Amino acid sequence: MKRTYLSIFCIAFMGISFLSAQEKIPQVEKLLAKMTLEEKIGQLNLLTPGGGIATGSVVSEDVETKIKAGNVGGVFGVSSPDKVRQAQDIAVKSSRLGIPLLIGSDIIHGYKTTYPIPLGLSSSWDMELIKNGAQIAAKEATADGINWNFSPMVDIARDPRWGRIAEGAGEDPYLGSQVAIAMVQGYQGEDLTQPNTMMATVKHMALYGAAEAGRDYNSVDMSRLKMFNEYFPPYKAAVDAGVGSVMTSFNDIDGIPASGNKWLLTDLLRERWGFDGFVVSDYTSVNEMIAHGLGDLQAVSALAINAGLDMDMVGEGFLTTLKKSVDEGKVSEEQITIAARRILEAKHKLGLLDDPYRYSDESRPEKDILTEENRSFARKAATRSFVLLKKHENTLPLAKNSNIALIGPLADNKNNMLGTWAPTGDPSLSIPVLEGLKNVAPNATINYAKGANISDDSTFAKKVNVFGPRIQISEESPETLLKEALDLAKKSEMIVAVVGEATEMSGEAASRTDITIPDSQKKLIRELANTGKPVVLVLMSGRPLDISEEMDLPVSILQIWHPGVEAGNAVGDVLFGNYNPSGKLTNSWPRSVGQVPIHYRMKTTGRPEPESGEFQKFKTNYLDSPNSPLLAFGYGLSYTNFEYSDVKASSNELGANATVSLSATVTNTGDFDGEETVQLYIHDKVRSITPPGKELKGFKKIMLKKGESKTVTFEISAEDLKFYNSDLKYVSEPGEFDFFIAGSSDADFKGSFTLKK
């Protein structure tokens, strides 16, 4: 089994500089030879003219004048073939050297055709689906003139208080690496000069998902052992997949902010990993090193360029201070030339130096953006992302002639379907749940009542509504809303309640200390459960929530994340049985916020919790809660049932240059055809450093008709058992290994084998 992200970093070990060995591009070198120092610095400047959705608090000024002066290497926040052509015209026709611009954008989960949030997409465990989604996003975005994408975000995140957990692939380095590879390949294709491909940016380098207290932009402090074994693999996987650019993170690493961290950006990223693209800062993160306490703008800009940062996003510290730093001997002109070369090489890879208007075909938007085909894919992607968290009795799937009370503040709400970080999407084009259910089941009787506000707290709502009305507090009293819902429920056969988080309750700068469903909706859910009618909770969120109370109620629960532009149709497909849900969680869901951070790879410690889970004094447990999560990584139910049996290894011993086959038989024992994601976990029983309890090493998604059985086999080699030891050497060690093949990380269908010396 190939492990791209776990390859040995032989470049560093051999003492060879990847950069010095890289062939120079004649077209780029001719340009560099003509450029003044000021023009080289200009290539390192990334600006946004504003006018679109804000992705930061600063908007660049006098952009056109700066482009004409050769002081801009790229812009973002500009789209449409016409506007991009205008921008390129200024650069090509009005600047001295006529160097075209990079045109960037945040295309996080689809462009105009918006898919589920990335955390939702990762729950599909379907890499081909994720790759195809990136391909369609690239096709749409390039049709609108954009050639550079600030995606994928691959930060490992284990703290659901952190709002940006919504943008990643969850808690696991192996799964996160596979998603990173799929997205880079989807965006970039095999040839970046093709007009339907775009340069990807892996972010945020590095460790951003481990921000202390789950508070956005906060400090990060962890051992290098944990970095290499648990947090770095997805970034490395993207680099190995050929990603064109890397974006730095806001946090510090070993006390030095990422945008000025030479060990991170040069020693690790370039010399050890062999990255040959360019590095861009996150939004004003160079300037923000002043607040970190590392000096004034000139000092932090010099620190960043010397560390290996190539492009300054929006802050203009490079533009305004680097020449002075060269004059004072604080930065060498050669360092600036290297950075400018990397930006120009990116433009060469995209074909912009040959044709600046490659992405300005005005015929493309109509035929490539928001097509029926693209929307059909978005609908499919959404259905595959949903996770069935609880089945109560035989409520699901619903009959298509049901009499349904559709209740909840998110049931008929276009503004909250797209999810966080969808700046290129249009909420008005989304399909709300009410409309979708009627589309899928026209013979059903579906009546709607709001039932509750998303939140009754107007102060909280104001914080959430920065980008528009996500939480709208009704003029009717909460008591009146509840009564309307209960009256409707009494007249109906069953209840579907669409509840959870508004779009901007998660995402950037949306950290929460309370990760339960808001109290206004909790009260509604309790009252609906008390009616005695069958209840399905359709749960919408951008993060794992604490739903301990709801799991104890007599309800079924379908987690739908924020599903995208085809939200309602996808929900209808799943609720009415057109598609049997197959999603699996990519983060552990806590029993309470007090368990956070929690993940399946936690170590057993020297005083492990008893296997029974019962409390014992002087063991690593809580007085008031089990150690285990409410819902485990990899968990997800189906309308049918799957049983695992005959877990075995083809051999009890694994040689250094051999493989062992690990297999299990999976049987569909229920009444519906369905898909199951079969997961392989390994436990190293004796290791030179303390091992995690389990490590995901493979997964396969299979389709089983009811009554059908299949044997699923994984091939494991010594390479797959490697890890970074205390010397940060990448090794495998002989010894005994347990393996687990199951439908989630907490199941215990296991065997064992021994890796020989």
Query: Where does residue 429 rank: exposed (0-12), middle (13-18), buried (19+ CB within 10 A)?
Result: middle
The residue ranges of DSSP E strands in 289-380, in sequence order, are 312-313
SS (H, E, C) 604-619: CCCCCCCCCCCCCCCC
Tokens of 366: 């109509």
- What is the distance between the alpha carbons of residues 221 and 243, in angstroms, rounded to a whole number? 27
Which amino acid is present at 270? R
CA–CA separation, 346 and 99 (whole Å): 12
- Give Cβ neighbours of residue 554 (< 8 Å, ≥ 6 apart): 392, 529, 535
Contacts of 440 (CB under 8 A, 6+ apart): 400, 569, 572, 573, 575, 576, 578
DSSP secondary structure letters along 249-274: -SSEETTEEGGG-HIIIIIIIIIIT-
Structure tokens at 23: 């062939």
Q: What does DSSP say about strands 74-76 and 102-105: parallel, antiparallel, or unpaired?
A: parallel
Structure tokens at 40: 């080289």
Map tokens 């205008």 to a residue: 86
Locate 150 and state its tokens: 């600030």
Distance, in Å, from the CA atom of 697 to the CA atom of 5, rounded to the nearest integer, reads 12
Query: What stretch of H or E contains 149?
Result: strand 148-149
Q: Which pair of tokens denotes residue 399?
A: 């009959």
Those residues with Cβ within 8 angstroms of residue 240's Cβ, 6 or more apart along the chain or in another chain: 4, 5, 7, 181
Q: At what angle do helices 372-385 and 127-143 cross, to 10 degrees?
A: 150
**How many residues in total does the chain contain?**
757
Q: Would you call 131 helix, strand, or coil by DSSP?
A: helix
Q: Which residue in 572, 575, 574, 573 sits closest to 433, CA to CA?
A: 572
Residue among 159, 282, 310, 368 flagged as catalytic: 282
Cβ–Cβ < 8 Å for 723, 601: no
CA distances from 203 to 138, 206, 239, 297 (A): 17, 7, 11, 24
The b-or-e profile of 284-314 (16+ CB within 10 A means b, else e) is bbbbbbbebebeebbbbbbbbbbbbbbbbbb
Coil/strand/helix, residue 344: helix
Kindly write down the DSSP assignment for every residue of 362-429, as one continuous string.
Answer: TTHHHHHSS-HHHHHHHHHHHHHH-EEEE--TT--SPPTT-EEEEESTTSS-GGGSS-SS-TT--GGG
The SS3 call for residue 700 is strand
CA separation for the pair 426, 54 (Å, rounded): 15
Mark whether 172 is an active-site residue.
no
Amino acid at position 101, single letter: L
Per DSSP, the residues of 615-648 read --TTSS--SSS-SS-SB-TT--B-SS-EEEEEEE
The residues, ordered by sequence, that sit 6+ positions from 53 with a Cβ below 8 Å of its Cβ are 77, 423, 424, 467
- Using DSSP, state whether 578 is helix, strand or coil: coil
φ, ψ for residue 35 (rounded to 5)? -85, 140
Q: In whole angstroms, how far apart are CA 313 and each of 102, 104, 296?
A: 12, 11, 17
The residues annotated as belonging to the active site are 282
